[in-house]
Amino acid sequence: MTLHILNRSAFSSATPDDALRATVPGDALVLVEDGVYCALDARWCASLPLDVAVYALSEDLEARGLGARTDARVQTVTVDGFVELTATHSQSISWF
Amino acid sequence: MKYTLIVYGAPYSSQAAHSALRFARALPGLGHTVATVFFYHDGVYNASTLITPPQDEPHLNQAWAELKTTQGCELLVCVAAALKRGVMNDAEARRHGGEVHNLGEPFELTGVGQLLASAQSSDRTVTFAP
């Protein structure tokens, strides 16, 4: 299982779409830095595979004033939760 | 678990270095450690001892040094990426006929082979890019 780490906004980059196409069932994806803007993009969120868990880093959401505005498909995690995701997945890919 | 972190982002240009530090500082509380931080591409600028931010902003060069003090990690800098960007230690400066240098302890100039060795001896490798 792979953890995909994404730091680009779907509003300004094609990288979030590329990342989704590279996922396989059981993978997880965590939105960090400007990647948290993806959690507000209805088009991108509608294309999320159902068998991929999606998280957004709460510290980066808060820093951008987006705390309560995430799509229902996106769960929030703290930095500690992000660390644990890297520990529970055998490898990670950073998309940028 | 032992972690290797790779930093591609220049200081103050992107969030990469801040994100990597935030991640590294969270590791011990969860029973993990950072074994190696490898600075690559524009990330090598993190190692410049000439970094002088305003006093009310994070001092990234010092923050990395403190990370080594608290967690005992290696701070490795890719020598090829560093030299062509003007980041070098005393020995490299002399070898290339220069009179000044801006890299020293606790940072070390190494090759990419050292990154592979670190990744192989770590449980996890996480990349922080600009």
- Which domain CATH number covers A57? 3.40.1260.10
In which band, very low, low, confident or very high, does the pLDDT at A48 lie, cut at 50, 70 and 90?
A: very high
User: CA-to-CA distance for A18 and B82, rounded, in angstroms?
Assistant: 31
Task: Examine the pLDDT at A76 and tell me if it is beyond 90.
Answer: yes
User: Which range of residues forms the domain containing residue B21?
Assistant: 2-128
Indicate the average pLDDT of chain B: 98
Q: B30 vs A86: CB contact, 8 Å cut-off? A: no
**pLDDT tens digits, residue range B44-73?**
999 999 999 999 999 999 999 999 999 999
Residue of A nearest to B6 (CA): A94
The CATH number given to whatever domain includes residue B104 is 3.40.1260.10
Q: How many CA atoms lie within 13 A of B125 on its CB side?
A: 12
Q: Give the amino acid at B96.
A: H
Does residue A68 register a pLDDT over 90? no
pTM greater than the 0.90 cutoff: yes
ipTM here: 0.96
How many domains, chain A?
A: 1
Provide the domain limits for residue A68.
2-95
Task: Write out the residues of chain B at the interface with chain A, using a CB-CB cutoff of 8 A.
Answer: 1, 3, 8, 14-15, 19, 22-23, 26-27, 29-30, 32, 124-130
CA distances from B67 to A13, B29, B79, B113, B130 (A): 33, 14, 21, 23, 21
The amino acid sitting at A27 is D
**Domain count within chain B:** 1
Q: Mean pLDDT in chain A?
A: 97
Query: CB within 8 A of B14, min separation 6: which ones?
Result: A33, B130
pLDDT at B126 over 90: yes
Flag the least confident range among A67-76, B65-74, B108-117.
A67-76
